[in-house]
Amino acid sequence: MKIRNAEAKDLTVIVEIYNASIPSRIASADLELISVESRISWYQEHSPNSRPILVIELDDKVVGWLSFQSFYGRPAYKATAEVSIYVAPEYKGQGIGKKLLSEAIYRSPQLGIKTLLGFIFAHNNPSLSLFDKFGFERWGYLPKVADLDGIRRDLVIVGLHLEEVKNNYKSE
């Protein structure tokens, strides 16, 4: 497995992986598939030096990705970032998300990030479990804030202060 910064050529597969998550209503608040064109500005807003998008390859194929997103867009929060992880359906349960999250924690100090956040649906047990394994704590609970096909869903906010973590994380 190889983790690297995403390149423009990866945007198609990033969108494919993201779109594969939408129908399950477990990992995305989007209700309709998105287009590559709709994600071009999102991709361009990410910088490898501060808020990268990482992809993970297996046998030269991108099988998952992670993005760092600025939190709340105000200067006082510049050392805080939200992370989002998406894995191709056929590679779930194979440690891809674990490798990506480990790499994100490892890279965060060099990106100037001191706090990581995750916004996870309360019914997304695999993601909550993944973040729990890395020491993320439950910092917030927003009941019934999302409407997924007429079902009101809760959102859990998880967080990790990186200065409290021994940064032994590094992908292999």
Q: What's the whole-number average pLDDT of the chain?
A: 95
Tokens for 134, please give them. 């890395």
pLDDT at 167: 54
- Examine the pLDDT at 106 and tell me if it is beyond 70: yes
- Examine the pLDDT at 49 and tell me if it is beyond 50: yes
Q: Do the Cβ atoms of 142 and 154 come closer than 8 Å?
A: yes
Strands (E), the chain: 2-5, 53-58, 61-70, 80-87, 115-121, 137-148, 151-161
Domains of the chain: 2-164 (3.40.630.30)
Q: Nearest 5 degrees, angle CA 32-CA 5-CA 130?
A: 65
pLDDT at 171: 47
Question: How far apart are alpha carbons 105 and 67 in whole angstroms?
Answer: 12
Global pTM exceeds 0.75: yes
- 3-class DSSP assignment, residue 53: strand
pLDDT at 73: 86
pLDDT tens-digit series, residues 82-100: 999 999 999 999 999 999 9
Q: How many residues are present in the chain?
A: 172
Tokens for 26, please give them. 């477990």
pLDDT at 164: 81
What CA dihedral angle connects 76, 171, 160 and 97, to 10 degrees?
110
pLDDT at 165: 78
Residue 123 binned pLDDT confidence (cut-offs 50, 70, 90): very high
Mean pLDDT (whole number) for 15-28 = 97
Nearest to 85 by CA among 114, 52, 118, 50: 118
